[in-house]
């Protein structure tokens, strides 16, 4: 089963590592859409994979940190590529969402964090699960999550 929560934000950024004259060198902005995807089994007691009220709360907190901001000035987003934004969103949601926390580690694939923006550019970030056996049991017991991320230029 898969469910998701989306949030939007508008932000500016630039890529300091690209040479002058590169199309993405200068300051520019986008309207972004982030999709937090929860994958797992439905809890027979609640009927839920995860509490979307809690997911929405965490998404709104992140939105407040990103909306109408210059992304380069946010800790961890000094180089705010789609790839780095996807990882940043995942890392910032992980501590507050049990479903997301179960999908992280260094040895097995966890749920992906897709990042896209509306001019047809995408990125998919997948976290790692703790171990093959732990990852398997984690996926059975705890929903895994991903973040889809889009921007509208």
User: What pLDDT does residue 97 have?
Assistant: 75
78-101 pLDDT tens trace: 999 988 888 898 889 877 676 664
Query: Where exactly are the structural domains of the chain?
Result: 2-152
Supply the Cα-derived Rg of the chain in whole angstroms. 16
User: What pLDDT does residue 123 have?
Assistant: 63
CATH class of 2-152: alpha beta
pLDDT band at 11 (very low <50, low <70, confident <90, very high): very high
Three-state DSSP string of the chain = CEEEEEEEEEEEECCCCCCCCCCCCCCEEEEEEEEEEEECCCCCCCCCCCCHHHHHHHHHHHHHHHCCEEHHHCCCCCCCCHHHHHHHHHHHHHHHCHHHHCCCCCCEEEEEEEEEECCCEEEEEEEEECCHHHHHHHHHHCCEEEEEEEEEC
Beta bridge partners of 20: none
Residue with the bigger pLDDT between 150 and 27: it is: 27
Give the C-alpha separation, 38 to 34, whole Å: 13
């Amino acid at each position: 089963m898969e469910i998701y929560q989306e949030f939007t934000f508008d932000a500016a950024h630039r890529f300091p590592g690209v040479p002058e004259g590169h199309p993405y060198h200068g300051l520019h902005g986008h309207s972004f859409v982030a999709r937090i995807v929860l994958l797992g089994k439905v809890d027979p007691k609640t009927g839920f994979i995860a509490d979307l009220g809690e997911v929405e709360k965490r998404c709104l907190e992140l939105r407040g940190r990103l909306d109408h901001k210059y992304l380069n000035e946010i800790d961890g987003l000094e180089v705010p590529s789609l790839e780095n934004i996807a990882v940043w969103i995942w890392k910032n949601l992980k501590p507050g969402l049990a479903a997301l926390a179960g999908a992280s580690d260094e040895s097995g694939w966890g749920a992906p964090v897709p990042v896209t923006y509306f001019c047809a550019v995408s990125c998919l970030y997948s976290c790692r699960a703790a171990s093959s056996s732990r990852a398997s049991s984690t996926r059975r017991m705890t929903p895994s999550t991903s973040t889809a991320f889009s921007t509208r230029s």
